[in-house]
Amino acid sequence: MNKTTLTMAKQINAKELHFAKFQLVSDDNNNSISISKGKKGINFSYNKGSDLYDLEFVKLKDYDRIVVKNLTGVYCDQLQGLIQDYFPRFEYVMDSLFVRKTQVIDFTRGVNC
């Protein structure tokens, strides 16, 4: 992975997606990352000129690849919401991972704040 795809992986929280059993594929030549789960997938492409992302939502049917929709000009802070919208069954897994990441534990009382 080159520097651009590593940055993309950090911005979409690739470790958490891998933990939630998503399949991740990176392509260094096109500066893109693809995630898939079951018969659905999202292709993220980085546009260096505008510093934005281009997304392609796909569904796999037999041996065909059907493009559901294309989004261009997406900011990096919008990526997590789009992933959760496209994979609604796995939203609770993603939310639990993000909550666990941001929890603060007060060790003097032994409870979560």
pLDDT for position 28: 81
Nearest CA among 73, 35, 31, 30 for reference residue 51: 73
pLDDT for position 97: 52
Q: 3-88 belongs to which CATH class?
A: mainly beta
Q: What is the pLDDT of residues 34-92, one digit of tens each?
A: 999 889 999 999 988 888 999 999 998 988 999 999 999 999 888 888 888 888 766 55
Q: Do 8 and 34 contact (CB within 8 A), yes or no?
A: no
The predicted model scores a pTM of: 0.74
Q: Which residue has the tokens 């997590």?
A: 80
Q: What is the pLDDT of residues 93-102, one digit of tens each?
A: 555 555 444 4
Q: Does residue 29 have a pLDDT over 70? A: yes
Q: Where are the domains of the chain?
A: 3-88
Token readout for 71 is 């989004």
